[in-house]
Amino acid sequence: MSGQIPLVSPSFLKCSSCSLGKLCLPVGLDKKDMLELEQIIENFSPYKNDEKVFEADQKFDKIFAVKSGMFKTLVIDTQGNEHIVGFHLPGELFGLDAIYPKKYIATAMAIGTSSVCAIDYPELERLSGKFPSLQHQMFSLMSKEVHNSQSMMVEYSADQKLAGFLLSLSSRYKQRGYSETRMHLIMPRRDIANHLNMAPETVSRLFKRFQSDGVVDIKRTDLSILDMEKLRQLAGCASDC
């Protein structure tokens, strides 16, 4: 398990009782509308580490909301290299990039034991037309997604990319009510490196340098941000300032 995220419990299967309601799709829905939203949501049993939620090229029919744990989405290029497109935290949606092409572009996998809500997309469109606040939230979340991936393009040096990545995690955890300074990097270094287009060795060296500069404290998967301001400077503030 991720260490930060509580295990999914049976009482946790409905939006109305889900602690992620403030971040996830149901923002602004009243009880009655939320019940209707719950009708189109399917709850799967938790995925094990590296288990696939969907694969690239598969027909698109559902979008997914992370309920607990963490998921990664990745694409495979013609040379067979994997590229991790994103890490997804509780309350975040993935599969949104599949709406336009009507098929999944990436493959989604669990990191550690993790669970999702599966939301039928045609039904979601229908309900969005019916509930303005649901539609608003969908536009907001997609806008955020656009913004996130664009801000990733802006950093170019390895320092900036890694610092930006840590800041992004930090602010996303903060939003979810977790500490913004202490977190668990449950994904392997290799995955962080891959996501940021760098070698695992570079990640390792940078972490060491950040540590000796007093910016962070890292022991295996445990990260503490000691100097948020310095980290922002390192990132060039492209990600979150």
- Give the separation between CA 7 and CA 68, rounded to whole angstroms: 7
Q: Which of 69, 78, 81, 91 is nearest to 19 (CA)?
A: 91
* Window 60-99: contact mask with DNA (x via CB under 7 A): ----------------------------------------
Helix 158-175 with 132-154: angle, nearest 10 deg: 160
- Give the separation between CA 121 and CA 106, rounded to whole angstroms: 17
214 binds, among DNA, its own copies, none (CB under 5 to 8 A by kind): none
* Token duo for residue 226: 């000691």
97 binds, among its own copies, DNA, none (CB under 5 to 8 A by kind): its own copies
Name residue, tokens 């559902």. 62
40 binds, among DNA, its own copies, none (CB under 5 to 8 A by kind): none
Q: Considering the complex, state which of residue 24 and residue 141 has its C-beta at the smaller distance from its own copies.
A: 141
Pairing relationship of beta strands 93-94 and 216-219 according to DSSP bridges: unpaired
* Residue 58 binds its own copies, judged by CB under 8 A: no
Q: Pick from 115, 128, 168, 170: which binds its own copies (CB under 8 A)?
A: 128
Number of Cβ within 10 Å of residue 150's Cβ equals: 10
- Give the separation between CA 195 and CA 168, rounded to whole angstroms: 13
* Residue 81 binds its own copies, judged by CB under 8 A: yes
- Give the separation between CA 145 and CA 138, rounded to whole angstroms: 11
Q: Which of 95, 88, 100, 112 is nearest to 56 (CA)?
A: 95
Q: Pick from 52, 147, 205, 208: which binds its own copies (CB under 8 A)?
A: 147
Q: Considering the complex, state which of residue 17 and residue 157 has its C-beta at the smaller distance from DNA.
A: 157
Contact window for its own copies (CB under 8 A) among 25-33, 109-117, 133-141, 179-187: 133-141
> Would you call 21 helix, strand, or coil by DSSP?
coil
Q: Which of 173, 122, 183, 159 is nearest to 20 (CA)?
A: 173
Smallest separation, CB 240 to its own copies (Å): 11
Site size for its own copies (CB under 8 A): 48
User: Which residues contact its own copies by CB under 8 A?
Assistant: 75, 77-79, 81, 83, 85-86, 96-101, 105-106, 125-126, 128-130, 132, 135-136, 138-147, 149-154, 156, 197, 232-233, 236-238, 241
Residues that bind DNA (CB under 7 A): 157-159, 188-190, 197-205, 207-208, 218, 220-221
